[in-house]
Amino acid sequence: MALEIVNGFPGLWRDPQWAPGMPGVYALIAGVSAYPHLEGGAAPARETHQLEQLLSSAATAAALFEWLRTAFRREELPVVWCYLLLSPTAAERAAFDAAGLSHYATPDYAGLQLAIQCWTGNVPSQPPASMKSRTLFFFSGHGVQANWSPLLLPSDYLNPALGQPHLENCISARELRKWMEENPVAEHLAFIDACRNEFSPLAGKGATAHGVFPINPPGGPAPRSAASLAATSPNAVAYQFPGRPHTFFGQAVLEALSGQADRGDARVDFRELVDYVRPRVNVLLQETAGTALDQTVRPTIDGDEELVVTELPTPVASAPMPPAPAPRGPARPVPASPAPAPPGSAPGAAGLGAAAGRALAARFDEALTVRVPISLEGLRASFGEAVRRFGHEYVSLAWFEGGVALHSLGDGRALDDGATVVEVARDEASSRVRVDLVLAPHPHGVLLVFEGAHNVQRERLALALPTDEHGEVPIRLTLTIARVEAFGDPKLQKVEAWLGPSAVNPHYDYLWRLTEEAEFGSLTRAAQRADAGRLKLAAQDKINGQAAATAGMLLLARAGQLGRVGEWTRNLMDWFPQLPDGAVLWAEALRDAMARGEARPFGVDDPLAEMATALETLWSRGLPFFADSVELADALLRHLLRAPIAEARRGRLAEIAHWLERVFELALPAGHFTVLAGQPRPDWMGGAGALTVDEMLALLRPGCLVGVP
């Protein structure tokens, strides 16, 4: 069977035998290169917020459509329905015309709304057809991040004909994710090829996209698998370059789907695809740009970890779509995201991680690195010491004269001796600075606060970080300094943090090596390298290893291998109540075991009730430290709220879910952890001005009064 044009319905392609309820693959593919109302467009808005035209998103989406139409193969899973929306550049349009591709719709806001409604309304909703079907969503174009929500921008974004700009006229990838996780179709797969850098006009007003996805009926069966792959991580950009017909992410995905990710079984599963695409993007970027730009691909999967994306097809005798002519323009990267290499020309996945790591390491100049430890208080007291480490004044001022403070998450008091900066690395030509620090022993975790309206975007940025009660915890920060407005002074715009390397603590040094592999190479290989015994030992070492053990077990959970540590997640929850992440991991261990068919996982008679009990402790223990734990808690709460549980318990869980939604209005993922922003102040908080440190502490621990450990 093959897709054919549906006359009279621009963009819609169907199998000629299609009928409502027919099982198979239902796809929505959109690519937006031309944005008429952004900078360089035919009718630009008065204020374009430095959003430019893109170069290759439409061609990337068209190539993915061509692959789906001619090369996708999966036994008993035919492609039966596809909605194609493209907004090409003039060069892309000429290439499409030459290839005979003209049946596509316009991906403006109304067009995307209609496409989503048709797509979600036509996928089979009842078994057995729903259990033999898959949805596929692909978007390439501009994307932004408004606090926790990644948003996708339609081709008519900022249309001046609407008067004041309707900033909310966009698509929420988080809403898409929620729909996927709750829709009864067996398999869902999404590719998001877009930036996720913070968009101040939306984030600054606490707004997000208008809702466009339908609400799934309660109590329905969960899908077997819901997987998504984003071109970059939260609060970061994806890149495109002139002269390349597809995006970097798109090229890597197309290479993987053509067989480059295959490990010898004539098929590509989701983990193989991730392990190939993640390092390949950075290698392509380094080879093309010759700089240390980085783009960290972000996978998410709920359910069956072994989702087969495609089986490898036999060669198809069809004329490939010609690449778009090289656009004319300056040879510089465009934030947002280059052409599939011929088969066999790309390196295998196993050799990509090291190359990507070398490219990223080149960002910082060794000659400018300072490795003289200094206390946080010492930096605050000496502008000269700050400049010695950070170079230009805009970074230095963020650390000087009270710009940085550390507070206990137990009672909110300032900790003057709570941290030591041990190393600072930077590149004179870069706006990024890397800071390695160690947190002193403390029983409750800390809030690291950067503040000052002149030096810090949104006036205050705060990171909740875990501490060990008796040992130091190494933290690696990355600071991004940039102009918020075209003619304004640079400000601290972004802070990210990871558990860092350690020369004295083997638990954290081991965890850092796994983190490097997981972030820049292969998550699967990192999980395979993770020694469950060593993670258990880190948990047993109650003096200085709790946070490392937690991060290691989260890595296993992300790779679908949490079962390797058995019920040790329960030990984390019981032994270290100051680490809320342990409760989330225990709940996930139970869900994972039930998904594998265990009726009494770890001897628990009522695993749903036990999961609920664990998650209810978040109200008093507080927000999990790790961003992955927060995402996992959100997904687990939605899972339980769809499950058959007591109504009283459902009410308590709904209250916690509501609290998390409020956190998402003010927070965004930042490396391993979560950052809270001082602005905007949501209406439900009352008051005026930026959120205070006390208000942030109360938001992080809603069941505790500030001042009470």
Report the candidate in 326, 245, 273 with the shortest Cα–Cα distance to residue 61: 245
Return the pLDDT at 336: 47
Whether the predicted pLDDT of 626 surpasses 70: yes
pLDDT band at 702 (very low <50, low <70, confident <90, very high): confident
pLDDT band for 313, please (50, 70, 90 cuts): low
Name the CATH topology of 25-361.
Answer: Rossmann fold (3.40.50)
C-beta separation of 588 from 596 below 8 A: no
With a cut of 70, say whether residue 252 has pLDDT above it.
Answer: yes
In three-state secondary structure terms, 122 is: helix
Q: What is the pLDDT of residues 189-209, one digit of tens each?
A: 999 999 877 766 665 555 677
Average pLDDT estimate for 312-317: 54
**Is the pLDDT confidence value at 333 over 50?**
no
Q: What are the C-alpha distances in Å from 551 to residues 495, 499, 526, 547?
A: 19, 8, 12, 6
Which pLDDT score, from 0 to 100, does residue 302 have? Answer: 81
Asked if the model's pLDDT at residue 350 lies above 50, the reply is no
Q: Would you place residue 314 in the very low, low, confident or very high pLDDT band (cuts 50, 70, 90)? A: low
Cβ contact 582:620 at 8 Å: no
Give 92-136 pLDDT, tens digit per residue.
Answer: 999 999 999 999 999 999 999 999 999 999 999 999 999 999 999
Q: How far apart are CA 650 and CA 237, in angstroms?
A: 38
**Residue 179 pLDDT level (bands cut at 50, 70, 90):** very high
pLDDT of 397 > 80? The answer is no
As a whole-number percent, the residues of the chain with pLDDT over 70 amount to: 86
Task: State the average pLDDT over residues 701-707.
Answer: 55
| Range picked from 165-169, 413-417, 437-441 for highest mean pLDDT | 437-441
Separation of alpha carbons 563 and 36, rounded Å: 51
State residue 116's pLDDT score.
98
Q: Looking at residue 643, what is its pLDDT?
A: 86
Q: Answer whether residue 352 shows pLDDT above 60.
A: no
Considering only residues 218 and 312, tell me which one the structure prediction assigns the higher pLDDT: 312
The lowest-confidence range among 236-240, 297-301, 327-331, 360-364 is 327-331
164-173 average pLDDT score: 90
Q: What DSSP letter does each residue of 503-536 carry, written as one string? A: SS-HHHHHHHHHHHHHHHS-HHHHHHH--HHHHH
- Model pLDDT, residue 95: 96
Residue 546 has pLDDT above 90, yes or no: no
Q: What is the DSSP string of 151-192?
A: EE--TTTT-GGGSS--TT-SEEHHHHHHHHHHS-SSEEEEEE
Percent of the chain with pLDDT over 90: 47
- pLDDT for 707 equals 35
Which residue intervals of 14-108 are DSSP H helices?
Answer: 57-70, 90-99
CB 140, CB 127: distance < 8 Å: no
pLDDT in the model for residue 291: 59
pLDDT band (50, 70, 90) for residue 138: very high
User: What pTM, to 2 d.p., does this model score?
Assistant: 0.80
In this predicted structure, the answer to whether residue 371 has a pLDDT above a threshold of 50 is yes
555, 561, 616, 628: which is closest to 587 by C-alpha? 616
The domain ranges of the chain are 25-361, 366-499, 512-700
Report the pLDDT value the prediction gives residue 564, as an integer from 0 to 100.
85
**Among positive and negative, which fits the CA dihedral 451, 452, 456, 459?**
positive
pLDDT at 522 over 70: no
